[in-house]
A and B are shown apart, each in its own frame.
Chain A
Amino acid sequence: MRPASSLFASTPPAPEPQEAPSGPSAFAESAPSPRRVLLLRRGQLCCAGVIVALGVVTWLGWIFDLPRWRGVYLDYVPMAPSTASFFILFGLLLAWSARFEGHGHRSHRVAQVVTLALGGTALLLLVLQAIGIKSSFEHFGQTIAGWVGRIAIGYMAPVTAMAFTLASLSSWLLLGKRRQIWARAVAMTAATSIAAIALVALFAYTHEGPLVVDATITPPALNTSLGLLFLALGLMAMAFRRDLKQQRHHLNDALLVTYFLLAAGLFAVGHFNYQGYVQQVKAEGNRELYAVIDLKVQDLERWRKERLADAQVFHGNAHFTQLVAAFLAQPQAPALRQRLWTWLDHVQRAYDYEQVWLADATGLPLLVAPLAPLTEAEICLPEGMRLSDASAPILVDYHLAPGNHKGHMAVLTPLRREGESEPLAYLVFRIDPAAGLWQQVGAWPGLSDSAELLLGSRHKAEMRILNPLRFPAAKDFDMGESLLHQALTADLLTATKQPTLLEGRDYRGVEVIAAVRTVPASPWFLIAKIDREELYAPLEARLWQTIIMIILLLTFSGLLLVAIARQQRARHLRLHLEANAALLASELRFKSLIDNAPVAIFINRNDTIVEANQACLTLFGADTRTQLIGSNPFDRFHPEVHPWVQQCFAAADDEHVAKTSRETKIIRRDGVEVAVELTVAPFAEHALRAHHVVLRDITPLKASLNALKESQEELHQRNAELVRFTYTASHDLKSPLVTIQTFLGYLEQDLAREATEDIAKDLHFIRTAADKMARLLEELLTLSRVGRRIAEEIDAPLRAIVEEALALVAGRLGEAAITLTLPSQAIIVRGDRARLVDLLQNLLDNAVKFMGEQGTPHIEVGAEPQAATLLLWVRDNGMGIEARYLDKVFGLFEKLDAHGDGVGMGLAIVRRIVEVHGGRIWAESAGLGRGTTFFFTLPRDRWSISQTEPPP
């Protein structure tokens, strides 16, 4: 809660300088929700459990030789024992962190040491993998031998080693005490990297076979990838848990994770796209090569057929055979020779043979076209071969003539006469492959820098390439050693296999892709090879394209995310500022509410006034706040109410309930006491003992209550008076009635008796009673006419009123001496003139009536202006009134003298008149026989000193 000081301040407080929020959510909760903490710990424990389980299962798989347990699928690389051990240790570490982090220092050290050990080992393994060393130490004593593809199993994949290194780094940073933002950021980054790696690997496993970048590098196993994912999640949970208090990180973390997942996704997409392209290119290459090779094979097949066909012409030609036989019989006959030669020449020229020989059965050359010296050695045959080997036309494979480094091929045809088994002559067509065959073979249909067709010939285990090579061979080239040769050997043995591309090194030592086909019915085979580099050239371009695209996308998305983050941050800042402004506005509203409240409110903290509103200042009589704030409220409370007020404060603390007192007194600063109503309520402020005190000035309330009480009392009095009046009136009216009735009875009796004296007496009594009743009723009427209000207000000089009254009682006054004591200035009296005359008349009458035995009766009428009132009196020196009756005389129907002829109402009427005029009347007497003075007053608004009247 904001400090109360700002609530009443006359000026709004300056806005707090905003701490630059390092994250967009600076406007965040101050305390981590326990549910969240619990959730993260549980999550972390879960991940730890999974990892440990994976490790243990794999170990069991290794110990008990259960391939499925360690590798899921038999075709896939299994998790290495080293990896399993790492998982178990990491899992335990995560579990420890979830349960014990923050408790106890000793185990903390252990955890850190373990982390460092793991990290170091992982790094070591990574380095070893990079170099290419696979240490059997990794097998942890298990005898492991085996391969999946070309990968030796049982070794940690380098990717896995890298992941473990990152994991160690991350957990070490998180376990440490440091709170720098970078430490956490790095840890988070590492964790998300691991997650990305794991995801990519898992993705690859679901998409196609193992993610094999290079066939010789171990990929992470399927269960390893899964384990790495959970490891990453566990580490992320650890990181989240650590800094829950500062939730500002969360948006950053979310963005980081998003970015990495995006990156991982992009990489995966790019990778698969690229791989697809690779496959595509390979397939295309395959098609192309095989297309070419098939074409060439066909060509060669045809060529061979053609050559044999050529020979076949002569082989089955009886005519020609006869000619040859004739020639053989007469070798010198020129005509035969010529004819035969012409034949040979024709063949040679038409079919483009290098030479055409005719040899006899022993192999002696007889004729040759074109003309050339005849030597036995000219007919060269491959070593170990003789003319007689050919029982049908055959193609003699490429051979070097002894002494001649030029290679040749030949078609050998035996000539037989029908019916004879032994040929009589042989025809040899010598072919110079260089003349056309090589070109035919070697011509690659299409443009290629490195594509080459190789014609090879196989004799038993021996193979050799026949046609000239396109490129210069490497110095140490030995075909037997070349990998290509090896592959050929293997493949050629299984001629029915699906056409696949072979990969290996050619005679240059350059990596090539090759297609191989055998030429049917011949020892020949054809190799169509193309440099790997050339075939896969577009791949490189594509790879670069993909990489650039990925980079661009990553950059773009990174910028986008940063923009989002900034916008979020700005938004949060704006919201924060708006919220602050709203809060401020609300506070101002409340402040004005409190400040303008009609009751005095102040806040008491530790017996100090810390805040007071405007009404409080007014109540306590202070001019400025500073006069009150900081002072002790008990200075303002009347000392006699201190204990009670303290009780109120204590009660507010204990029961947290507002306590209203009835009435308390406070002392203003100028010393005046004011009656107030006090309410104390507990005021929650940072758990400090504070009270919210409301004081209500009840002076006007009290005044009205008093006035009400007074008027109530007056009403009571009047009521009582009325009751008494009614009672008395009925009683007093009843009395004369009794008299009348009774004496009427007596009168009847006396009339019957004719007792005249008694009759007279009876009549007297009756008459008296009747008169009395009449008077009574009249006076009652007068009294009621005086009423409660003055009928008409008249200004009259006092002197005139007095003189009028005197005139009315003149007769009764008789010899009584009258003195008038009136002030020098003339006094004007306002009121009911007639009633005022009545009043004086009554008093004068009384004075006369109660003169008693006084010899020198003397009556004085006087008036004297006092401070605010006009005092008037009527004084006599008559019989006086006893002290105890001085008040009673004014009572209704009270007669001090039963024999008097009054009804006892006079003074009551007089008092009513005085009261109606707002004055007071009372009697004073020294005692019996000492005279009486009747005093009455008129209030200030009923009299004034005349300016115009001349003094009397």
Chain B
Amino acid sequence: MRDSGSPVHILLVEDEVAHAEIVKRNLRDFNVANAIHHVSDGQEALDYLFGLGRYTDAARRQRPDLILLDLRLPKIDGIEVLDTLKRDPDLRAIPTIVLTTSPAEEDMARAYRGGAASYLVKPLDFSKFTELMKSFGFYWLLWNRFP
């Protein structure tokens, strides 16, 4: 049983620096203890998850409790990352939330089919984005329990 005080590790896979910054800020504002690791492409995300490439050293990585995944990523596409990690028996337990600018139906369908737990579309409006992140924080960081 996890200690309620221990931080929730989130892997943020996002290629836009600015967007990553937004997420980080929002979640920081939340005052919920969480540790966010940001990777900017699909390849790095998988390296981190599987302990390859730069992250062979176990110290540098940690199994995240939650994954925030953008779909449009260089090198390896978000959907592919999703598929890959969901194939792994251990990693697939990690709830993966897709956070992307694309509202396209196909992307949504593919994401859910791939095993995404949720699909979030980044709103253009600043206040809405804040709202979203707040809700996200509440739900996932407060209400949701991680093993």
**Chain A positions near chain B (C-beta within 8 angstroms):** 727-728, 731-732, 734-739, 741-746, 761, 765, 768-769, 885, 894-899, 904
Contact = CB atoms under 8 A, between A and B. Distances in A.
Given A731-B72, A746-B22, A898-B15, 20 more contacts: A727-B104, A731-B102, A734-B102, A734-B124, A735-B19, A736-B18, A737-B124, A739-B19, A741-B126, A743-B22, A744-B126, A745-B130, A761-B21, A768-B18, A894-B74, A895-B74, A896-B74, A898-B74, A899-B17, A899-B40
A481 B124 CA distance: 169
13 contacts: A735-B72, A737-B124, A738-B19, A738-B124, A738-B129, A739-B16, A739-B22, A741-B126, A742-B18, A745-B126, A745-B127, A894-B74, A904-B74
B18 A741 contact: no
B110 interface: no
B40 A742 contact: no
Interface string B93-123: 0000000011010000000000000000011
B124 A741 contact: yes
Contact of A742 (B15, B74, B102, B129): B129
A131 to B, nearest CB: 130
Main SS class of interface, B: loop
Interface residues of B, number: 25
Contacts of B123: 738
Contact of A734 (B75, B101, B129): B101
B25 interface: yes
B75 A885 contact: yes
A743 B101 contact: no
Nearest to A734: B101
Contacts of B101: 731, 734-735, 738
B125 interface: yes
Given A741-B126, A742-B126, A745-B126, A898 B73 contact: yes
Contacts of B127: 745
Interface in B4-60: 15-19, 21-22, 25, 40-41
A899 to B, nearest CB: 7
Contacts of B21: 761, 765
B94 to A, nearest CB: 22
Main SS class of interface, A: helix
Interface string B59-103: 000000000000011110000000000000000000000000110
Residue picked from A728, A731, A744, most chain B C-beta under 10 Å: A731
A897 B74 contact: yes
A743 B18 contact: yes
B124 A896 contact: no
A380 to B, nearest CB: 178
A794 B69 CA distance: 49
B130 to A, nearest CB: 7
Nearest to B133: A742
A50 B25 CA distance: 133
A324 B63 CA distance: 217
A879 to B, nearest CB: 13
Q: Which 9 A/B pairs are nearest by Cβ-Cβ distance?
A: A745-B126, A739-B18, A898-B15, A898-B40, A895-B74, A734-B101, A765-B18, A742-B22, A898-B74
A469 to B, nearest CB: 157
Residue picked from B18, B22, B41, B101, most chain A C-beta under 10 Å: B18
Contacts of A765: 17-18, 21
A735 B16 contact: yes
B65 to A, nearest CB: 24
Contacts of B15: 895, 898
Residue picked from B40, B72, B123, B125, most chain A C-beta under 10 Å: B72
Nearest to A746: B25
B119 to A, nearest CB: 15
Contacts of A735: 16, 19, 72, 101
Contacts of A885: 75
Nearest to B25: A746
Contacts of A728: 72
A43 B21 CA distance: 121
A727 B130 CA distance: 26
A720 to B, nearest CB: 13
A731 to B, nearest CB: 5
Contacts of B75: 885, 896
Contacts of A896: 74-75
Contacts of A761: 21
Contacts of A745: 126-127, 129-130
B18 A769 contact: yes
A761 B22 CA distance: 12
A895 B122 CA distance: 21
A739 B124 CA distance: 8
Contacts of A899: 17, 40
Residue picked from A728, A746, A768, A904, most chain B C-beta under 10 Å: A746
Nearest to A894: B74
A751 B137 CA distance: 25
A732 B102 CA distance: 9
A737 B123 CA distance: 10
A774 to B, nearest CB: 15
A898 B72 CA distance: 11
Residue picked from A742, A899, A904, most chain B C-beta under 10 Å: A742
A447 B136 CA distance: 170
Contacts of A897: 41, 74
A897 B74 CA distance: 7
Contacts of B40: 898-899
A761 B19 CA distance: 13
Contacts of A743: 18, 22
Nearest to A748: B126
A737 B25 CA distance: 18
Contacts of B19: 735, 738-739
Nearest to A739: B18
Contact of B125 (A734, A741, A768): A741
B116 to A, nearest CB: 17
Residue picked from A732, A735, A744, A899, most chain B C-beta under 10 Å: A735
B70 to A, nearest CB: 9
A735 B15 CA distance: 10
Contacts of B25: 746
Residue picked from B41, B73, B122, B126, most chain A C-beta under 10 Å: B126
Contacts of A736: 16, 18
A765 B73 CA distance: 19
A471 B52 CA distance: 176
Nearest to A764: B18
A732 B125 CA distance: 17
A728 B104 CA distance: 11
B8 to A, nearest CB: 23
Contacts of B18: 736, 739, 742-743, 765, 768-769
A619 to B, nearest CB: 51
Interface string B122-147: 11111101100000000000000000
B135 to A, nearest CB: 16
A456 B98 CA distance: 172
A139 to B, nearest CB: 125
B102 A898 contact: no
Contacts of A744: 126
A869 B104 CA distance: 43
Contacts of A732: 72
A367 to B, nearest CB: 188
Contacts of B129: 738, 741-742, 745
